Amino acid sequence: MVVRKFSIKQVIEKTGLEESEVRFYENAFREFLAFTRLDSNQKDFNEDQIEVLIRIRDLIKKRGFTVDEVKRELKCILKKGEVSPAGARPESYARVIAVTSGKGGVGKTTFVVNFAISLALKKKKVAIFDADLGLANVHILMGVKPQFNLSHLIQDGFPLEDVITTGPLGIQILSGGQGVRELANLKEEERRSLLRQIDKLERSVEYLIVDTGAGISENVLRFASFADEIVVVTTPNVAAAADAYSIIKILLGMEPNAKIGLITNEVASMYHSKNVFNRINVAVEKYLNYSLGDLGYIVTDEYIKAANQLRKPLLLSYPTAPAAICVKSITETILNDKVFVNTRKESSFQEIMGAVRRTMVGAGV
């Protein structure tokens, strides 16, 4: 078997890390990377080592793990990998899906709530992180009253379990409340503690849906980049479509490998939605060299407003309404269709397990 070798420059390109960071990881996690020439700077890296570096990077940068915590996690992966029966999917993280838009009021929260219901109806374990400061918050549309929110978690040190409200069908809701604004000013220790709590949430469910709110605020971008997949919602409105393009441009600028899909809301028909999708996707392909996933559409439907007034999600109050059918169809697309599957994450756990084991075996550990 030919083992491909990568130079440090290629590693930097693939991982987005700076050389100093790669060198730091090399030293701190040498037992997992199993380099043979650690004393002098490593010249060649193999694919497995790059996998491990990426995993370490995510744990540290996205989840705020300390070096010791990363080591524990990697050891745990290794142990699980050895004991888990062949083919069984080991404990893993939820698929994190952020829902965002350029312009406000295009139907993000309505979609988030009904998408969550649709997943829960399929017996999936779902949580919503409501990071939206808009008016119609997730809990209102779900008909629940959260007692606590993110700021109790951040500032008062409440454990995650106490801050979560359980909605219909067991959907777990973490309300952002004022805590979302406080996020920008978190101290390092608070940030770590928050990320650890979210990490706990990610392990306890299969889908974590994040309602990020609209626009190019720091919060929106932070949450979007935290996700595996990003759903951008737009309406046919020209300004909404232009803003959708802008947010996609910024998201791709931040993460060129982001998985971004588009939902067209408040359209008249499928034909209408294809028009809107194509208009945006043509521009994205031409100027950003990226192809959007077509996740589907939601028709304009008065039942949505009626459901909102009832404070009962459309899929539960009017399950056969036209928009409810559309949401179910989008759910199928997100679950089954390759158009939006983040293959990296789906397989990364298995890959990393293999990678860590191979490198450790190589080191004779």
Ligand X SMILES: Nc1ncnc2c1ncn2[C@@H]1O[C@H](COP(=O)(O)OP(=O)(O)OP(=O)(O)O)[C@@H](O)[C@H]1O
Residue 288 vs 306, nearer CB to ligand X = 306
Residue 154 vs 298, nearer CB to ligand X = 298
Using alpha carbons, list the distances in angstroms from residue 217 to 166, 182, 238, 251, 332. Answer: 28, 13, 21, 12, 30
Q: What distance in Å separates the CA atoms of residue 26 and residue 56, rounded to the nearest whole number?
A: 10
User: Binding residue for Mg ion (CB under 5 A) from 15, 100, 109, 273?
Assistant: 109
Residue 241 vs 304, nearer CB to ligand X = 304
- Please name the helix (run of DSSP H) or strand (run of DSSP E) that holds residue 164, with its range, or none: strand 164-166
Number of residues counted as binding Mg ion (CB under 5 A):
4
Beta carbons of 329 and 315 less than 8 angstroms apart: no
- Please name the helix (run of DSSP H) or strand (run of DSSP E) that holds residue 116, with its range, or none: helix 108-121
Say whether residue 168 binds Mg ion (CB under 5 A): no
Question: Near ligand X by CB under 6 A, which window of 7-15, 21-29, 220-228, 304-312?
Answer: 304-312
Say whether residue 132 binds Mg ion (CB under 5 A): yes
DSSP 301: -
Residue 346 buriedness (CB in 10 A; 0-12 / 13-18 / 19+): middle
Say whether residue 109 binds ligand X (CB under 6 A): yes
Question: Near ligand X by CB under 6 A, which window of 46-54, 146-154, 177-185, 295-303?
Answer: 295-303
Residue 301 interacts with which of Mg ion, ligand X, none, CB < 5 to 8 Å by class:
ligand X
Q: Where are the beta strands (DSSP E) in 215-364?
A: 229-234, 259-267, 293-299
Number of residues counted as binding ligand X (CB under 6 A):
23
Alpha helices in 16-101 (DSSP H): 19-28, 30-33, 47-57, 67-83
Residue 105 interacts with which of ligand X, Mg ion, none, CB < 5 to 8 Å by class:
ligand X
Say whether residue 304 binds ligand X (CB under 6 A): yes
Least spacing, CB of residue 134 vs ligand X, in Å:
3
Least spacing, CB of residue 261 vs ligand X, in Å:
16
Question: Near ligand X by CB under 6 A, which window of 173-181, 194-202, 243-251, 296-304?
Answer: 296-304
Q: What distance in Å separates the CA atoms of residue 61 and residue 200, rounded to the nearest whole number?
A: 16
Residue 193 vs 300, nearer CB to Mg ion = 300
- Output the CA torsion sign for 209, 214, 216, 217: negative
Beta carbons of 262 and 295 less than 8 angstroms apart: yes
Binding site for Mg ion (CB under 5 A): 108-109, 132, 134
Binding site for ligand X (CB under 6 A): 101, 104-110, 132, 134-136, 213-214, 265-266, 298, 300-301, 304-305, 308, 323
